[in-house]
Amino acid sequence: MASDPMKFCPSYKWGQTSTHVVVTLDVGETCIESKSFTPEGHVEIRGDKPGKGPFQLTLELAAPVNAEKTVIKMNPRSVQFKFLKSSVGDTWKTLQKSDLPRPAQVLAALPNPDTTSQHTPNRKICEAVPSRARI
């Protein structure tokens, strides 16, 4: 049986210090249903945001992290994940491995289930966007 399609891709921002990488997801603490992290840098966060629907954010971090030392700060409007870098002092150029596309929010016209209406609403869906090449 197929799972429900993702309704939207939550926005997030990231930053780093010499010791940590911080990812802040723009959904509240009550929206997170599950989260998992591996030392190889695989991150998966699932949830459901009222008014938007279910989501899954999967990231392949640019470098390994000490997953067992991840600190999670839950707030009413955002959730922050603070990952300890395995190689302290390294500067990451990107959040994800360079050969992977990054998740992005894209407005796409989806068919309106109401066949009596000519209006086709725009809904947010998740779509992979190729990484920008650096020169």
Q: Identify which has the larger pLDDT, 15 or 102.
A: 15
- Residue 37 included in any domain: yes
User: Residue 85 has what pLDDT?
Assistant: 97
- Residue 75 included in any domain: yes
- Residue 68 included in any domain: yes
Global pTM value = 0.71
- Residue 131 included in any domain: no
- Report the domain count for the chain: 1
- Residue 120 included in any domain: no
CA-nearest of 17, 42, 22, 16 to 82 is: 22
User: Residue 102 has what pLDDT?
Assistant: 62
**Is the pLDDT confidence value at 111 over 50?**
no
- 65 neighbors 85 (Cβ within 8 angstroms): yes
Q: Residue 32 sits in a domain of what CATH number?
A: 2.60.40.790
The 10s digit of each residue's pLDDT in 37-56 is 999 999 999 999 988 889 99
- Residue 23 included in any domain: yes
Domain that holds residue 21: 12-87
